[in-house]
Structure 1
Amino acid sequence: MESVGRGWSGAVELSVTVDGSPMRALAYPAIVGTPEPGDTVLLNTTAVAMGLGTGGYALVVALPDRLPPDPPVVEGPGHMVKARYAPQQVTVLGVDEQDSPHHAVLASDASLDGMPVVVADLHSALPAILAGVRASRPDARVAYVMTDGGALPLWFSRTVATLRSSDLLVGTVTVGQAFGGDLEAVTLHTGLLAARHVLAADVAIVAQGPGNLGTGTPWGFSGVAVGEAVNAVSVLGGRAVGSLRISSGDARERHRGVSHHSLTAYGRVALAPADLPVPMPLPTELAQRVRDQLAELPDRHRVIDVPLDGLDEALRALPVKLSSMGRGLDEDRVYFDAAAVAGRHAAAHL
């Protein structure tokens, strides 16, 4: 390893040399220890070899010459294993397990008490949704519930680290196999309840971590979980707000206008109703296409026009860079507008 670069909550960038060539790497100190210049590092270079954009780091598996000390063998809180049966599985204290101080509330017949929950396909929608909430309700307590469809360690997200350190998020919950949040939960259901009753959130945002997976098939994409999230919100007595994935900049036909991801998740997977905010005005070349696409959704959903007034300033004031599929705010404006109006609509129900 040549040098240690920038770090953020839970992660640190490294400059390493592999077969004489420089390479960017990422380490999670809680798992592998704290790297130092000159360390030998054992790397997983899959993402680099594949040329991945979001996840294009070599990942540090171990510092073989300077392993972290073994954890003490004690009986203590924390029996929830995540990334189960992978070599780097982690043991955490689940907010819903018996040793948790919050077990009683999660074991009760608690509900979301009508809390608005914004669900989104892509991690990149998170800051734009948050901008929309806070543009209308700057005092709102917003929690992020990260599912396991993308990155498993929340530590991978610089966006979340910045939003958290800027006090724009009151806390994070990682659910399923995802880990690294302020709270850990077994399922999306207990994660949502923890956001409401432990973090005292007014609004929750549910999205996968960075690095979604899609195959160009009707059902083979990680964002199908958006529909399942709508169902969970309904079962728990919350108000589901769908952040529509709308694009004018994506060259792929299946993602033009309203993405087939949104149409499938809300149209065929979500069996409970959701509010589906649409930014107004839409770009002229997209307006009719979006209307036609949304008209095909089941009538249990509520398609709602939401004005964009003031949201440009809110989006540009965020402390993080807006980017989705390599496109920024000015390259695919409608994508971020759609996420922002979802946040604005959620705030209207506080």
Structure 2
Amino acid sequence: MYTELETRVLDIRFEDEEIQHLTTDKGAGRALLYKRMTQAVKVGDRIVVNTTATELRLGTGGWDIVRQVLSRKEEQWSTSDPQGHIMKARYTPVQHSVLTVESQESEFHGVFTKPFSLAGSPVWLAELHSMVPLLYYLTQQLNKEYRCCVIFDDQAALPLMLSEQLRVLHQERDFTSITVGQAFGGDYEAITIASALQCAKMIVKADVIIISVGPGVVGTGTSYGFSGMILSHWSHSVSALDGVPIWIPRMSFADKRKRHYGISHHTVTPLSQFTFEKAVLPLPYMAKSQRETVLSQLNKASYRVQHDIRFAKQDDVSHHLKNALKQATMSIQTMGRKYEDDPIFFLAVAEALRVGLELAE
């Protein structure tokens, strides 16, 4: 399915170097324009917007996407740095080149011609985009000097500038992003997870390295048809580079869907069936009944290797977590739920960070 329509720009509600938020007279009534792929517009311009996601009423599809500006007749239009030759969104009408850190043209090229090891460093694996700002503000609670680097894979939104949370985080001194694969818009661009890890360690010199995705993950209610299956690939890449993969469990006792209640099968399935190198799975302090539920779920799984599964014996994180949520510039939610609605999700992220930092020491 593909749908589009012609509409007119009524207002520019937000604009920065990368994006415009527009009010339009048709469709969803609001549209996103990515400046690296479409020339910026003014009020009154006629545009063509892709309405597919809004027609389907997708969770993250509340915006139409500008595909073409009709009222501008420039014969040639270009943007961005022409140095790079690695294509993103390859072989689509919006393909564009970027300068990746590994490229021969890059000032960092020499770094990637040398052997590399994570040398026992922890790397946190975060299935959901909502985990990213939470992790950052938690690191700042624990140590304001920590440099946090997030590697964004292409299993969800490709343009990083879609995320309002990331537009805020990119203003923070100690936050850095790397976009990998077909994802684009990070502080650094990389071709693979492995070289992004090398960049995070050797160039960014990050204290906390996280692998995650942008907003808009996919799930189908099936055994293997969900974005989180990529976690096993991330875990193997970290292990192959002599790092310690720290799986952040997706947990909920508010989600009514059986597959996400307790510890989500989005964590258990890729960890148990598809991960062949040992990983660490920290679990937060829970009430007895909750612990028994999660333990039962874990015991029913069939594992390829014996993982390091750690149940917290006491609550060492809720104080830091509450302070982190207060520090956050924007409200942090997951599936529309705040901390008060589903505390275990937030506590699981905090405990995973604590355990990983403890291992690093």
Q: TM-score, normalised by structure 1?
A: 0.92
Distance 2:16 2:78 in 1: 24
- In 2, are the aligned partners of 1:8 and 1:161 still within 8 Å (CA)? no
- In 1, are the aligned partners of 2:28 and 2:63 still within 8 Å (CA)? no
Equivalent position of 1:29 in the other structure: 35
Question: CA offsets, 1:68-97, max 9 Å, x none?
Answer: 74339x9x6201001111111111001111
User: Offset of 1:113 from its aligned partner?
Assistant: 2.8
User: Offset of 1:254 from its aligned partner?
Assistant: 0.6
- In 2, are the aligned partners of 1:95 and 1:102 still within 8 Å (CA)? yes
Unaligned runs of 5+ in 1: none
Answer yes or no: is 1:294 the counterpart of 2:298.
yes
Aligned residues, how many? 344
Unaligned runs of 5+ in 2: 1-8
Equivalent position of 2:4 in the other structure: none
Distance 2:118 2:230 in 1: 19
Equivalent position of 2:115 in the other structure: 109
Equivalent position of 1:46 in the other structure: 52
Amino acid corresponding to residue 291 of structure 1 in structure 2:
L
1:254 paired residue among 225, 250, 259: 259
Answer yes or no: is 1:176 the counterpart of 2:186.
no
Question: How is 1:63-78 mapped onto 2 (pairs within 5 angstroms)?
Answer: 63-66=69-72, 69-71=76-78, 77-78=83-84
Distance 1:274 1:67 in 2: 55
| Partner-residue secondary structure (3-state), 1:131 | helix
Distance 1:24 1:31 in 2: 18
User: Offset of 1:115 from its aligned partner?
Assistant: 2.3
Answer yes or no: is 1:345 the counterpart of 2:355.
yes
Change (3 A) 1:121 1:8: farther
Distance 2:72 2:356 in 1: 49
User: Offset of 1:57 from its aligned partner?
Assistant: 0.6
- In 2, are the aligned partners of 1:29 and 1:35 still within 8 Å (CA)? no
Question: CA offsets, 1:295-348, max 9 Å, x none?
Answer: 346463112234324222223321222111122222222112111222222232
Distance 1:79 1:3 in 2: 35
Q: TM-score, normalised by structure 2?
A: 0.90
Question: CA offsets, 1:251-275, max 9 Å, x none?
Answer: 1101100101100121112211221
Answer yes or no: is 1:96 the counterpart of 2:102.
yes
Question: CA offsets, 1:133-180, max 9 Å, x none?
Answer: 3332221111010000000011111111111213341x1100011011
Equivalent position of 1:308 in the other structure: 317
Amino acid corresponding to residue 289 of structure 1 in structure 2:
T
Distance 1:271 1:23 in 2: 48
Answer yes or no: is 1:165 the counterpart of 2:160.
no
Equivalent position of 2:128 in the other structure: 122
Equivalent position of 2:14 in the other structure: 6
Distance 2:291 2:340 in 1: 18
| Partner-residue secondary structure (3-state), 1:41 | strand
- In 2, are the aligned partners of 1:17 and 1:23 still within 8 Å (CA)? yes
Distance 2:164 2:32 in 1: 12
Change (3 A) 1:316 1:283: farther
| Partner-residue secondary structure (3-state), 1:304 | strand
Q: Alignment identity in percent?
A: 33
Answer yes or no: is 1:189 the counterpart of 2:194.
yes
1:217 paired residue among 206, 219, 222: 222
| Partner-residue secondary structure (3-state), 2:46 | coil
User: Offset of 1:28 from its aligned partner?
Assistant: 1.0
Question: CA offsets, 1:236-263, max 9 Å, x none?
Answer: 1212111000011111101100101100
Greater shift in the superposed pair: 50-59 or 237-246? 50-59
2:153 paired residue among 128, 140, 147: 147
Change (3 A) 1:155 1:134: same
Distance 1:138 1:25 in 2: 37
| Partner-residue secondary structure (3-state), 1:4 | strand
Amino acid corresponding to residue 198 of structure 1 in structure 2:
I
- In 2, are the aligned partners of 1:9 and 1:161 still within 8 Å (CA)? no
Equivalent position of 1:15 in the other structure: 23
